[in-house]
Chain A
Amino acid sequence: MAKKAEQMSFEQSLARLEEIVKSLEKGDAPLAESLGLFEEGAGLIRACGKLLDEAEQKVVQLRKGPDGEPEELPFE
């Protein structure tokens, strides 16, 4: 079973999308399976589109904390 769109990286989502579209374009899957693929593809496209539309750059400054672990600070 394919992973849910939210759990996939952008790269994985695009790769899965390409797979789905290729399979649909071949057109030999039964209707029920085709519809399932279409649903999944449409979901991935929505998720990717949302990521792209809502992307907002985050910038932090990183420093080594007192325990040696990284600490994030706002970057001026």
Chain B
Amino acid sequence: MDEQTFTVSALNEYVKALLDSDPILRQVSVRGELSNYKVYPSGHHYFTMKDAEGSLRCVMFRFSAAKLRFRPENGMSVVATGRVTVYPRDGSYQLNVTGLMPEGVGDLQVAFEQLKAKLAAEGLFDPAHKKPLPLFPRRVAVITSGAGAAVHDIIRVLGKRWPLAKILVMPVRVQGMEAPPEIAGAIAYANRHALADLIITGRGGGSLEDLWAFNDERVARAIYASDIPVISAVGHEPDVTIADYVADRRAATPSNGAEIAGPDIQEVTAAVAQTDIRLRQAMAKKLEGLRRELDGLAARPALTDPEVYLGAKAMALDYARARLVAAAAKAAEEKRRAYVALAAKLDALSPLKVLGRGYAIAEKNGAAIRSAADAAVGDRIDVKLSGGSLDCVVEEVHCGEKG
């Protein structure tokens, strides 16, 4: 066999043709660890895959890179799929990667964790940012598929619980490439036009792939930016999405979302009835209190029985009068006693008593003659003595004689 001499590029081309024609190398999967990962402005990704003994140069062109659902990081264990090809300029071969998957866990799982960590670090899940839901919502925007079971579940449950709320269905796709911008767009639109005081967004259950729109960064940011409180109601109980973390409230299912959205009309009706009772009781108590106060005044004797009231006064008057009379009588009696004593004394001094003992009183013109000198001959004098008096005429006056 003749030895052939190749030019460098001819040899590279030969090897390239050889490798390109190998059916195994055309579609091969390689397990290894990512290193030296670089994204070029062109959109192409360049990196190296390594294991303990070797390394492999890899390129992923923009078109394939756009389909990545997670962000490849150095040190990550991955399985790359692609074709082996020669890069003629360097004479080296490389893996032209068309698909890249994290090893062990799904790429969506990795993407989920990556976005969750990123948004958490930015504070999108901060409880302090969460808004309270309206107690009695008036307009509820439901952003979900217009065709799925979710929208009907929400309408049914909310209609039963809180029919006062008007429901605005904003139909969007909830699956596929178009879903995230549609959902995010509807949330922003509802806010721009102040359409509702509460938003429920979500969909029924499905695989992680099906629910993926609710793990999209655009949806997460739209929920975060919403001034209208958002309830995230995605899938079944165990499904947790990024939207659930960002939303003001997480509901386990769409029906649960409707339960959270409004109060139970039965309970509210009962509460209003209870308030009615309290109002009436409070008013009745107030009136009763005033009535008692009035009764208390009316029960006073001056108003209830003026006769008794006046009778008491009359009795007091009688009593006072009796006391007055008694006091007067007592005073009179004392005076009488004093008079009797005085009279007795007077009696002792009475000239009549003296007359009884044989004396006589001579009177002239009604006045007693105290001395013989006071009488003159011819005077008519009246001599009073015991048993009567004598009319006499003085015949002689003897002065200086003992009488």
Contact = CB atoms under 8 A, between A and B. Distances in A.
Interface string A34-66: 110010011001001101100111111111100
Contacts of B181: none
Interface stretch (B3-11, B58-66, B269-277, B389-397): B269-277
Contact of B166 (A24, A60, A69): A60
B164 interface: yes
A45 B158 CA distance: 23
Contacts of B193: 69-70
A2 to B, nearest CB: 15
A38 B278 CA distance: 11
Given A27-B289, A52-B272, A60 B169 contact: yes
B39 to A, nearest CB: 36
B290 interface: yes
B88 interface: no
A70 B186 CA distance: 11
Contacts of A57: 155, 158-159, 163, 165, 167
Contacts, number: 100
Given A11-B136, A20-B279, A31 B290 contact: yes
A9 interface: yes
Contact of A55 (B163, B168, B169, B272): B163
B76 to A, nearest CB: 42
A59 B164 contact: no
Main secondary structure of the interface of A (DSSP, over half): helix
A21 B282 CA distance: 7
A52 B164 CA distance: 7
B146 interface: yes
Contacts of A58: 166-167
Interface in B355-369: none
Size class of the B contact interface (CB-based, 8 Å): 35 or more
A21 B275 contact: yes
Contact of B138 (A9, A25, A72): A9
B153 to A, nearest CB: 13
Contacts of A55: 163-164, 265
A17 B275 CA distance: 8
Contacts of A34: 283, 286
Contacts of A64: 189
B286 A24 contact: yes
Contacts of B119: none
A17 B274 CA distance: 11
- Which of B265, B269, B275, B285 has the most CB atoms of chain A within a 10 A radius of its CB? B275
A10 B135 CA distance: 9
A60 B168 contact: yes
Interface string B173-188: 0000000000000000
A11 B136 CA distance: 6
Interface string B263-304: 001001101100110110011011001100000000000000
B167 A59 contact: yes
Interface string B61-100: 0000000000000000000000000000000000000000
B259 to A, nearest CB: 15
- Which of B141, B168, B285 has the most CB atoms of chain A within a 10 A radius of its CB? B168
Interface of A: 9-11, 14, 17-18, 20-21, 24-25, 27, 31, 34-35, 38, 41-42, 45, 48-49, 51-52, 55-64, 69-70, 72, 75
Closest 8 CB pairs of A and B: A24-B282, A57-B159, A57-B163, A55-B163, A59-B167, A10-B136, A58-B166, A38-B283
22 contacts: A9-B136, A10-B136, A17-B279, A21-B275, A34-B283, A34-B286, A35-B283, A38-B279, A45-B272, A45-B279, A52-B164, A52-B268, A52-B272, A55-B164, A57-B167, A60-B166, A60-B169, A61-B146, A61-B168, A62-B195, A64-B189, A70-B189
